[in-house]
Amino acid sequence: MYRMGVVGLGEGRSIMSAALNSSRWKLAKVCDLNRELCEQRAQEFDFHEWTTNYNELLEDPDIDVIAIYTPDQLHFTHVCQALEAGKDVLCTKPLLPSLEGAKELMEVQERTGKHVFVGQSSRFFEPMKRQRKDFEAGRNGEVETVEAYYITDGRWFLDKAWSRQKGFSWMYNFIIHAVDLVRWYLPDIQEVTGFGRSSANNAAYGLETWDTMRFLMRDSGGRIATVSGSYTLPILDLAAETAMGCTIRGTKGTTRGEYPNLRYHTRFEGEEPALHKMDDMHDYYFRFEGISHHAGEYQNYIEYFAECLDQGVTPMPNVEEAVTTLALMEAMERSLRSNGQVVKVKDVLEEYWAKVR
């Protein structure tokens, strides 16, 4: 059994549920600055090992892995502290809210030799898992294009003070799910162009970052991807549009995984189109009120993480993969800022490494 400490008990609620329901993990201790929240979680899960002091997790020899669910702006510090304390790390997305600090973090990871596994939760949703399995079995044939979107009315998220502070953006916090899905299938995206808008709804919260974005990308093999996101506009109901979708179109088959609907659409050559419904898994994925927490994905990724630790394999996405995604996002941002100019990821990375060398 691997022993887990958790810091940040908002979304950390899902990882608590996952660890407590796993035969491979022992939840050792949890931490949040907010004492009331610690007490609330203690009551909810009947789990009473909590602290408001992160150092207690760092210094605890009975913790192997620290799972980090603090605000994006604190990930750098909390990840580095955990690594320096000799812990393996599970960090929620985004690993960092920009490329800043990436080099230092990579150096600390390399020096300590500890794992940093980034919890890109969408990869672990049932329809996305099924889609990946079919892709790996070659059922799509040659992939020509990947279309990913994450469109939701995220205004509820802006109740969190840190989401209105420097370092928060819809780009790094929200659209990253769609970007990561694209990179999962097309890891070598080389160039991107896009347009962005900041609506009056966004401005009402004092936010200046783009809340609607549309991107077109191309990888080294000329394959095309699109990524879309809108975050403060009213959305249609789930029957009309799902919050997230990833469509892969290939020479032998087209598939689409959806979220939060447990739906997977397929059309393989020589077969009828099919809709695979996984509604029976609803309570596994969504364990609390509503669907804003999706603990089943976390369950899946900690089981995967444990499997990797057992096998001595690096869990993915690791730091390198996460940093390449951040570089792509920096390229996306630059394209928005330059009103649609095509930006190459290679240029962003070269410039970054030249700057921090």
* Positions in the binding site for ligand NAD (CB under 6 A): 7-11, 31-34, 37, 54, 69-72, 74, 92-93, 119, 121, 160, 162, 173
Q: Which is nearer to ligand NAD, 19 or 143 (CB)?
A: 19
Q: Which is nearer to ligand NAD, 53 or 338 (CB)?
A: 53
Mapping DSSP to helix (H, G, I), strand (E, B) and coil, where does residue 19 land?
helix
Least distance in angstroms from the C-beta of 98 to ligand NAD = 13
Least distance in angstroms from the C-beta of 92 to ligand NAD = 4
Q: Which is nearer to ligand NAD, 38 or 327 (CB)?
A: 38
Q: Which residues pair with 230 in a beta bridge?
A: 151, 212
CA distance 179 to 217: 10
Mapping DSSP to helix (H, G, I), strand (E, B) and coil, where does residue 184 land?
helix
Least distance in angstroms from the C-beta of 10 to ligand NAD = 2
CA distance 295 to 316: 19
CA distance 251 to 268: 9
Q: Which is nearer to ligand NAD, 139 or 177 (CB)?
A: 177
Q: Which is nearer to ligand NAD, 143 or 176 (CB)?
A: 176
Cβ neighbours of 80 (radius 10 Å) = 19
- List CB contacts of 127: < 8 A, sequence separation 6 or more: 257, 258, 259, 261, 262, 263, 264, 276, 278
CB 123 within 8 A of CB 130: no
Least distance in angstroms from the C-beta of 163 to ligand NAD = 8
Q: Which is nearer to ligand NAD, 12 or 196 (CB)?
A: 12
Label residue 64 left, alpha or beta by phi (over 0 means left) and psi (-120 to 50 means alpha): alpha
Least distance in angstroms from the C-beta of 75 to ligand NAD = 6
Helix (H) or strand (E) holding 164: none
Q: Which is nearer to ligand NAD, 134 or 330 (CB)?
A: 330
End-to-end CA distance of the chain: 40
Least distance in angstroms from the C-beta of 155 to ligand NAD = 14
Helix (H) or strand (E) holding 242: none
CA distance 352 to 349: 5
Q: Which is nearer to ligand NAD, 72 or 333 (CB)?
A: 72
CA distances from 1 to 123, 208, 315 (A): 24, 45, 17
Q: Which is nearer to ligand NAD, 143 or 244 (CB)?
A: 244
CB 170 within 8 A of CB 210: yes
CA distance 199 to 292: 23
Least distance in angstroms from the C-beta of 157 to ligand NAD = 7
Least distance in angstroms from the C-beta of 176 to ligand NAD = 8
Cβ neighbours of 191 (radius 10 Å) = 18
Which residue's Cβ has the minimum distance to ligand NAD? Answer: 10
Least distance in angstroms from the C-beta of 71 to ligand NAD = 6
